[in-house]
Amino acid sequence: MARETKIKEGFLYNIWKSQNFIHPLTTLNGDEITILNCGTLNEELAGPDFKNARIRIGNLTFVGDVEIDNSYSDWKAHGHNLDNKYNKVILHIALSNPNNYTHVFTRDGRKIPSIKLSSFIDKEQLDKLKTEQDNLTANENLFIKCQTLINGSSYDSKIKFITELGFQRFQKKCLKIYNRLKELEFVKELDLKEPIITYELTQQFHERNFEHKDFYDKNIWKQLFYEFVFEALGYSQNKVQMTNLAKHANINFLLKLDKDGIILDKYESILFHVAGLLNENINYEDEETKKYIERLKLNWNSYRSLYDNKFMNETEWNFFKQRPQNFPTIRIAGGARLLYQLIFNDLISQIEKKITEIHNPKVLINSLRTMMIVKADGYWKNHFVFGEKSKIEVNYFVGASRADEILVNVILPIFSVYFEVFGKKDLSKKILKVFSIFEHREENQIINNMITAMDVKEEARKALITQGLIELFRNWCSKNKCLECEIGKIVFN
């Protein structure tokens, strides 16, 4: 089998479930393998592919999980060796293993046998799978239904509709932010005791007419900012977890900390403890890790008696299929530094001042972007997880592309709401102007596919257009609302 051949893991799952092998399975060390129960396919986004399998390897029977990869190297490339979710894996299956490596290792250091699946599959079966996959890929290349007909719609009409959707998406973000702002104020007025995330909004809240004087408290704006910035730092895989972390270790608690020269250490200590990422199984052999954890624990012990909110569990966090620079540990480290700016240096007032005083939109964008970029320092400059020194240094906890994402999805909508609430209409219009000309570095598969499908490469750098394309795909194309779409009405008639 050629090394470069890749088979979608869904096909490999079917091979595993069917157990249709050309001869009995053995490890690369020669131990016989008997599958008593192949396990249950894991339908969740994270974790091993099959759960609760029963497998006899040699003379021992194991109960646990099974992970299936295209290549032996995927175990490390996908971060399984750093993820506690994979500590219960009992068998690693790789379609290709050109160097015939016999084992992989879990985060807790346990050896797991790795078998080379291609040795047990008929070549004709693989060729058939490859053909099926190629046919499927060809069909998938037609990303949206109107892709082959899109030239029936003029460029100007496409851009006009996508632009409208971009502004609609921005307004949806503003509405989400405003609703959370009202919720924070309402909860504050109820004087609920921690943990406050267990409350239910009453009919009184839904009937309440809020006025600008209800939002004078700076701390509710700080909490709002905190939650949405952390959500943006979490990407799609950890945005809920990061938002929950901001709600648990909230501003009201953080304001109880003494402001001194080690306040950043305190923020890190609290965030990692509340996130559940600082467990007792961390390898302390690394002297730098030992000293860092001692500092975190010392700071935590000083304030743990003041904390009575919820704790998270390490298993809630997703490391799977994340680039190490995007691991939750790195994002929390970056978030701690933005928290320092938010609380210690009054970041919201700084941003408001820049928006008010800088009249050139492009200069303003660059200035705001710079405020959101966080350079790496300290322990997390050369670690991706606790206890394992990385081979490469982390340059930024929050780089330029993520800073752009925070500007588009958090800063601009929050300040649009802020200026609307306090009647500063000119500044609210200025925010929309900035959004309309903003060019960013964001790239994802949906955006790239939609740019190609809509044939709007000339406008692809504009945040307004990319936001409109996301809105178009999620709320029209993916829901088959072709005849309700302004573009679809043209090309299908």
Would 39 be classed as within a structural domain?
A: yes
Q: Which DSSP string corresponds to 52-120? A: EEEEEETTEEEEEEEEEEEETTHHHHTTGGG-GGGTTEEEEEEEE-TT---EEE-TT--EEEEEEGGGG
> Which residue type occupies 31?
D
Number of domains in the chain: 3
Verify that 99 and 248 share a domain, yes or no: no
Verify that 253 and 172 share a domain, yes or no: no
| Placement of tokens 């941003």 in the chain | 351
Verify that 234 and 380 share a domain, yes or no: yes
Verify that 324 and 409 share a domain, yes or no: yes
* Tokens linked to 104: 């992989």
Distance CA 93, CA 114 (A): 6
- Domain end residue (candidates: 94, 124, 154): 124
Residue 70 and residue 9 in contact, taking contact as beta carbons nearer than 8 Å: yes
Verify that 30 and 110 share a domain, yes or no: yes
Would 94 be classed as within a structural domain?
A: yes
Residue 435: give the domain boundaries. 217-442
Would 130 be classed as within a structural domain?
A: no
Helices 287-303 and 263-275 sit at what angle, rounded to 10 degrees? Answer: 90
Verify that 20 and 146 share a domain, yes or no: no
Residue 138's pLDDT is what? 46
Verify that 417 and 375 share a domain, yes or no: yes
Helices 425-437 and 463-475 sit at what angle, rounded to 10 degrees? Answer: 80
Distance CA 52, CA 90 (A): 10
| Placement of tokens 């399998």 in the chain | 53
* Tokens linked to 409: 């999805």
Verify that 462 and 480 share a domain, yes or no: yes
Would 488 be classed as within a structural domain?
A: yes
The one-digit pLDDT tens for each residue of the chain (493 residues) are 334 456 777 778 888 988 989 989 999 888 999 999 999 998 776 789 999 999 999 999 999 999 999 889 889 878 788 888 899 999 999 988 888 999 999 988 899 999 999 889 887 777 776 666 555 554 444 467 787 777 778 888 889 999 999 999 999 999 999 999 999 998 888 765 544 444 556 666 667 788 888 899 999 999 999 999 999 999 888 999 999 999 999 999 999 998 888 999 999 999 999 999 987 667 677 889 999 999 999 999 999 999 989 999 888 898 876 788 899 999 999 999 999 999 999 999 999 999 999 999 999 999 999 999 999 999 999 999 898 888 899 999 999 999 999 999 999 999 999 999 999 999 999 999 999 999 976 667 788 888 888 888 888 789 999 999 999 988 888 888 888 888 888 877 7
Residue 246 and residue 225 in contact, taking contact as beta carbons nearer than 8 Å: no
Quick one: which of 428, 431, 491, 415 has its CA closest to 463?
A: 431
Quick one: which of 11, 17, 10, 9 has its CA closest to 127?
A: 11
Verify that 276 and 393 share a domain, yes or no: yes
CA distance readout (Å), 211 to 118, 141, 222? 67, 50, 19
Would 227 be classed as within a structural domain?
A: yes
pTM of the model: 0.74
- Domain end residue (candidates: 124, 150, 185): 124
Q: What are phi and psi of 202, to 5 degrees?
A: -90, 175
Distance CA 221, CA 251 (A): 10
- Domain end residue (candidates: 408, 427, 442): 442
Residue 371's pLDDT is what? 97
Verify that 104 and 118 share a domain, yes or no: yes
Between CA 404 and CA 317, with CA 343 as vertex, the angle to 5 degrees is 60
- Beta strand 374-375 with 40-41 is unpaired
Residue 199 and residue 192 in contact, taking contact as beta carbons nearer than 8 Å: yes
> How many alpha carbons lie under 13 Å from residue 34 in its C-beta half-sphere?
6
CA distance readout (Å), 116 to 36, 54, 90, 201? 19, 19, 15, 55
Would 312 be classed as within a structural domain?
A: yes
Quick one: which of 435, 461, 464 has its CA closest to 448?
A: 461
Residue 206's pLDDT is what? 63
The CA dihedral of 282, 285, 290, 292, to the nearest 10 degrees, is -80
Helix or strand run (H / E) with residue 24: none
DSSP state letter for 228: H
Distance CA 173, CA 228 (A): 10
Verify that 488 and 438 share a domain, yes or no: no
| Placement of tokens 């030239």 in the chain | 151
Residue 4's pLDDT is what? 44
Verify that 189 and 237 share a domain, yes or no: no
- The most distant pair of C-alpha atoms in the chain lies apart, rounded to whole Å, by 76
Would 1 be classed as within a structural domain?
A: no
In 119-154, which residue ranges form alpha helices assigned H by DSSP? 123-140
Distance CA 355, CA 424 (A): 12
Distance CA 351, CA 414 (A): 11
> Which neighbouring-strand residues pair with 66?
50, 91
DSSP state letter for 380: G
With residues binned 3-state (H G I as helix, E B as strand, rest as coil), the percentages for the chain, rounded to 5, are: 60, 10, 30
Would 114 be classed as within a structural domain?
A: yes
